[in-house]
Amino acid sequence: MIIAPTRATALYEANRLDARFHASPAVRLRPVLSRAKKVSLRRIGEYGDVRAPNRFKRTYAAPGEEYIPYLRPYDVFEYLPPEADRLSVTRTENLDTYRINSGDLLQTCSGRNLGPLTIADNYLARFVLSHDMVRITIADESERYYTLAFLQSAVGQQLLRGDLNGSVIDHITVDQVAAIQVPFVASIISKVAALMRDATATREQSRITLHKSVEALNKAFDTSHDKPLREGWAVKGRDAGHQTRRRVSLDSRPNDQGEGSRRRRCRTRRGCDDHKAGRSIQDVLCRPWARDTTRVRYTASPGRCHWGKKHFV
């Protein structure tokens, strides 16, 4: 149990009575930041445009139709996020609203992923993004990268998660993100912004180069005639027989004679190729088609032995 004191003024200003809100670290951080010297507190909504698009119906592209790749919110944190789906360019309503704009801050706003954020670069600008992510557009470059650095810090994450809604799934709104106060320290703004800008540019160039290398490698293999896996596939029996051998313990096979798991050999009168080669049942069981769930059974082509209870002791 977490117990934390609060003031009547805090209850009035927050207009909330839930204990989780008043026991969060953000409640104690806000007064500390407000009393800090040589610090200018500015709400994100004062110098940036904070927005989130409405829910939309995803219209998937048909084969051969012009499309744009689609990302889910948590995909943007991968280094080379693959497309989750392909949306129709002509049939998706208000498509431009969901496009990723290079330079925007992308803030998660619900669920277990709430808190982390990233900045969109030219690689992410190829995609459209789900509505379940807040976009922050900041015109001034120094303020943009400084805000990104602060929100990614421990204090910034506590402030982001300090005003949550939802009884089952945590959620923050556009207004709550816009109301977050960022402490601007004049003496370090330029340095912090420059470091974050360099890090972002390096990541952007690296994954664009890596993406081009992956695409070049994929083009080196001719897959134009491959049948899509969703349409099913077939394997010939003779191909299945050339699979890599796998050892199977006889301990897992039912033993009708109760003699443990000793190695057994074929007792057929003529003898099969495996018997002549000195292979044991344990070797024969390696073959993929020689097993089922109740009794391991070897059924080869005519002229070879059939492995079952009557043929082996």
Q: What is the pLDDT of the chain when averaged over all its residues?
A: 76
Taking only the tens place, the pLDDT of each residue in 271-310 is 555 554 555 444 444 444 444 433 444 444 444 444 443 4
Neighbours of 144 (CB within 10 A): 23
Please choose, from the candidates 273, 285, 27, 48, the residue with its C-alpha nearest in 3D space to the C-alpha of residue 161. 27
- Find all residues with CB under 8 Å of 228, minimum gap 6, and list them: none
Taking only the tens place, the pLDDT of each residue in 237-282 is 666 655 544 444 444 444 444 444 444 444 444 455 555 455 544 4
Q: What angle do CA 47, 53, 59 make, to 5 degrees?
A: 150
Instruction: Give residue 226's pLDDT.
Output: 62
Q: Which of 8-12, 138-142, 154-158, 208-212 has the lowest average pLDDT? A: 8-12
Taking only the tens place, the pLDDT of each residue in 42-56 is 999 999 999 988 888
Please choose, from the candidates 146, 243, 135, the residue with its C-alpha nearest in 3D space to the C-alpha of residue 185. 146
Q: Average pLDDT of 182-210?
A: 94
Q: Average pLDDT of 31-50?
A: 90
- Find all residues with CB under 8 Å of 104, minimum gap 6, and list them: 119, 120, 135, 136, 137
The upper half-sphere exposure of residue 271, i.e. CA atoms within 13 Å in the direction of its Cβ, equals 9
Question: Predicted confidence band at 227 (pLDDT cuts at 50, 70, 90)?
Answer: low
Q: Is the pTM of this model over 0.75?
A: no
- pLDDT surpasses 60 at 3: yes
Q: What are phi and psi of 41, to 5 degrees?
A: -85, 125
